[in-house]
Structure 1
Amino acid sequence: MSKIDTRLNVSPVPPDEIFALNGAYAVDPHPQKVSLGVGVYRTDDGKPWPLPVVQKAEKELVVDDDLFRHEYTAIEGDVPFLGIARDLMFGFEGKQGEEEVKARIGTVQTVAGTGANHLGALFLAHHMKPPTVWLSNPSWANHQTIWELAGVPRKTYPYYHAATRSFDFEGMMSSLESEAQEGDVVLLHACAHNPTGLDPNKEQWVAIADLCERKKLFPFFDSAYQGFASGSVEEDAWAVRYFFNNKPDMEMCVAQSFSKNFGLYGQRVGAFHYCTNRASTSLRDVVVNNLCHLIRGEFSMGPRVGCSIVKKVLTSEELTADWHQDLQVMSSRIKTMRKALYSELVRLQTPGTWEHIIEQNGMFSYTGLTPKQVYALKDKYHIYLLKSGRASISGLSQKNVTYVAQAIDDVIRNEN
């Protein structure tokens, strides 16, 4: 075999666990296979669910027959969409003095939430040069990759208390209090923490905001589930809005995704918001200008079709009302499946405690299953979930929840 002549210095990197797991599930011929890996909404029949309101919007867009629908937008994105995304995130609804407050926020369109996280990390790495970014332990695996590629040193703060399967608020606060330095970035999940499904309560969010302000840390919110987690866009944006409204002298940013709450997974709709402090609103346009510089060198501008759907829905009172109803449908089914799995495990008297399944929030549950148990579920029962024990509750249904609970019961009992 001849030697390869190349100047490249490359080594294999591990495959992405979620996509590799989904690929293995796709080729598994077993009739009772269950996918609890990938974070996408599924109906009780296990099928994708194009939101009814999205289908209505698509039909209206066809009728509109806009001649410019395939044209370039601005580098910062579809300009009307930017205001719509900002107002959804921060809750401007004719409030007194809203224009003055809006002047703090610079918004650009991104390639979904991943692109918003990446753009934000790149921008801060270039222009703020944070000594460290603090990620929750555990966090969405892609957070590590994004900040690694941005070249920012990464540390983690405690988040999950394994013994009680609960949010480790004391550990988080203690770690940030003693180790975080001025100028560090703290990445926070706005709601439905991925992968644990555990969120701070409002009192705890207030304490986290106070700590960030006092230690001069930079909050970076990742908002991937607004409206999807609780069914309420207001409730799921509470933390972001509290930080913004109650800490006006603190800068912050938000990565916003429309993948989950509009079911637009493949359309890649997102936005990045940089919030100046109230004394520095003159910097907003300069911030946007620099974000546009990064965008132009990377993807030129955000995709048009998906943001046109969001814009069509959120500029119509009727369609917006329909969208809120669709959010209720999705969030309610997730909650129903949590209760069903919990009830089955209790009925089977499965060893361990399972209250955490119904106490957690959003699409994912950190089940507490060990890697060995996860592998046993896959090998013996063709049930696919991440080795961390994170399960996508959306993959459960009335047809398979008993099967899944019995499988969990079996692998736990056999291990013991």
Structure 2
Amino acid sequence: MGSIPTESLFSELSDIPLDSHYALKEEFSADPAPKKVILGSGIYRDGNGMPWVLPTVKEAEDIVDNIGDPGRYDYLQIAGSAAFYTAARDLLFGRVDTKVESIVSVQAVSGTGANSLGARFLSESLKPSAVWLSNPSWVNHANIWSLVGVEVKYYPYWDAEKRLLDFENMIKTLESHTKPGDVIVLHGCAHNPTGVDPTKDQWKTIADVCQRRGLFPFFDNAYQGFASGDLDEDAWALRHFAGRENMELAAAQSFSKNMGLYGERVGALHILTASPDAASKVKGHVLRIQRGQVSQPPRRGATLATTILTNGKLFQKWLLDLREMSSRIKDMRKALHDELVALGTPGDWGHILTQIGMFSYTGLSPAQVEHLRSEGHVYILASGRISVPGLNPGNVKYVAAAIDKAVRGGLA
């Protein structure tokens, strides 16, 4: 018999630090300060700082529960609920009757699952030399693409000095450094983490570059209706790309934010191909990967989303919920901006108002962020990104005062 090993077979593994978002939560929880604020994760809160269950979701729950479907715990198909992913597709793409047979849609485990499923498929089928992410981008994008073995590269996006989109350098980089077949990840609206979106004319230029350079666009759509309060406005960029001749693309879609279904993990992956024949082939490969990763996606959240999307009266009520959430976020942006201006906080804070959606890139330095945590007990990411819905009438003055002190402390 061989000797029993004295060390773990995993002892040579490197240490992987906890994801920054969850590390922030742990640090916040451990802080004994009686008054503290966390503006980290992208979760919508109401005016009292509490999680908000959308009224339309409550109604959908009652409808679903009263039906008492005996198959409510049965497996879905590998592609998920056809009623759900069809309604989700129409919400995102609009009515595209002439192209519907060329779009492959499957239910996914929220936006992360859709991104992951799409990345796995595209890495195998297109074999891109690189995937191009905005600098900065959602923290999980690089992780997802690294896990499928695709080199991650970045295009300029945030101009830290001017606190706006670095569009000129973005286009220069895409024109000069990308290769045909490369994938470019684009945020459909409410860019995470900066809150800065291209204008419609800029989106058209980006589409031109993608076609000219042979890039494959992969849209991440986590905030439709949650950014501007208008579903069609927030889908404009993707629909413009999809409306171009011979433009193929992928889109990850999430209902975590716009329906508040965070824990239900409701999402979809859509792939627009050049022909129905191509779509048939794509679907087979996507379902093979889905089968190997999750077999079938979960049922209840998709059932709730489908109920809202397909019930005319409930859908109209949902539009009001979206406007309420987006309006409160805009109000909190203005409140924070106005408090900083009233305090005379050094610097120009106008970018807080011009950014859109759940997040704001404040422009605070890592040292200033550390001051916020240690002295003000206000917890935000080291990048200076804040989750605006975490602000409310009861804490916005406190947060603004803490920012003011960090900036005046001369920390750069």
Shorter-chain-normalised TM-score: which range?
over 0.9
For the residue of structure 2 that corresponds to 1:403, the secondary structure is: helix
What is the rounded CA distance, in whole Å, between the counterparts of 2:11 and 2:181 in structure 1? 35
For the residue of structure 2 that corresponds to 1:157, the secondary structure is: strand
**1:68 CA drift (Å):** 0.6
1:32 maps to what in 2?
35
2:352 maps to what in 1?
357
1:281 maps to what in 2?
276
Confirm or deny that 1:213 pairs with 2:216. Answer: no
Mapping for residues 174-185 of structure 1, pairs under 5 Å: 174-185=172-183
What is the rounded CA distance, in whole Å, between the counterparts of 2:50 and 2:316 in structure 1? 24
- Counterpart pick for 1:290 among 241, 261, 285: 285
2:377 maps to what in 1?
382
Unaligned ranges ≥5, structure 2: none
1:267 maps to what in 2?
264
1:204-225: CA deviation from partner (whole Å, max 9, x where unpaired): 0001001101111100100000
What is the rounded CA distance, in whole Å, between the counterparts of 1:76 and 1:8 in structure 2? 39
Amino acid in structure 1 at the alignment position of 2:188: A
**Which TM-score applies when normalising by structure 1?**
0.96
Confirm or deny that 1:82 pairs with 2:85. Answer: yes
**1:100 CA drift (Å):** 2.9
1:204 maps to what in 2?
202
1:143-162: CA deviation from partner (whole Å, max 9, x where unpaired): 01000001001110000011
For the residue of structure 2 that corresponds to 1:10, the secondary structure is: coil
**Which TM-score applies when normalising by structure 2?**
0.97
For the residue of structure 1 that corresponds to 2:264, the secondary structure is: coil
Confirm or deny that 1:106 pairs with 2:109. Answer: no
**1:415 CA drift (Å):** 2.1
Amino acid in structure 2 at the alignment position of 1:368: G
Mapping for residues 111-130 of structure 1, pairs under 5 Å: 111-130=109-128
1:26-50: CA deviation from partner (whole Å, max 9, x where unpaired): 3433222111001000011100001
**1:69 CA drift (Å):** 0.6
1:15 maps to what in 2?
18
Amino acid in structure 1 at the alignment position of 2:335: A
2:389 maps to what in 1?
394
**1:294 CA drift (Å):** 0.5
What is the rounded CA distance, in whole Å, between the counterparts of 1:4 and 1:251 in structure 2? 51
Amino acid in structure 1 at the alignment position of 2:332: M
What is the rounded CA distance, in whole Å, between the counterparts of 2:103 and 2:365 in structure 1? 43
Amino acid in structure 1 at the alignment position of 2:36: K
1:65 maps to what in 2?
68
- Counterpart pick for 1:326 among 309, 321, 327: 321
Amino acid in structure 2 at the alignment position of 1:347: A
**1:186 CA drift (Å):** 0.7
- Provide the aligned length of Structure 1 versus Structure 2: 407
Confirm or deny that 1:302 pairs with 2:277. Answer: no
1:195-254: CA deviation from partner (whole Å, max 9, x where unpaired): 000000000000100110111110010000000000011010000000001x23021100
What is the rounded CA distance, in whole Å, between the counterparts of 1:99 and 1:342 in structure 2? 44
What is the rounded CA distance, in whole Å, between the counterparts of 2:337 and 2:346 in structure 1? 12
**1:7 CA drift (Å):** 6.3
For the residue of structure 2 that corresponds to 1:207, the secondary structure is: helix
For the residue of structure 2 that corresponds to 1:387, the secondary structure is: coil
- Counterpart pick for 2:162 among 158, 161, 164: 164
For the residue of structure 2 that corresponds to 1:103, the secondary structure is: helix
**1:114 CA drift (Å):** 0.4
What is the rounded CA distance, in whole Å, between the counterparts of 2:263 and 2:8 in structure 1? 38
Identity, % of aligned pairs?
51
- Counterpart pick for 2:248 among 246, 251, 267: 251
What is the rounded CA distance, in whole Å, between the counterparts of 2:34 and 2:47 in structure 1? 16
1:334-366: CA deviation from partner (whole Å, max 9, x where unpaired): 000000000011111101110000000000000
1:285-314: CA deviation from partner (whole Å, max 9, x where unpaired): 221111110011111011101000000111
**1:281 CA drift (Å):** 2.1
Unaligned ranges ≥5, structure 1: 93-97
Confirm or deny that 1:347 pairs with 2:342. Answer: yes
What is the rounded CA distance, in whole Å, between the counterparts of 2:341 and 2:247 in structure 1? 46
Query: Aligned-residue CA RMSD in angstroms?
Result: 1.1
Amino acid in structure 2 at the alignment position of 1:333: R
**1:99 CA drift (Å):** 3.2
Amino acid in structure 2 at the alignment position of 1:64: I
What is the rounded CA distance, in whole Å, between the counterparts of 2:57 and 2:31 in structure 1? 31
1:368 maps to what in 2?
363
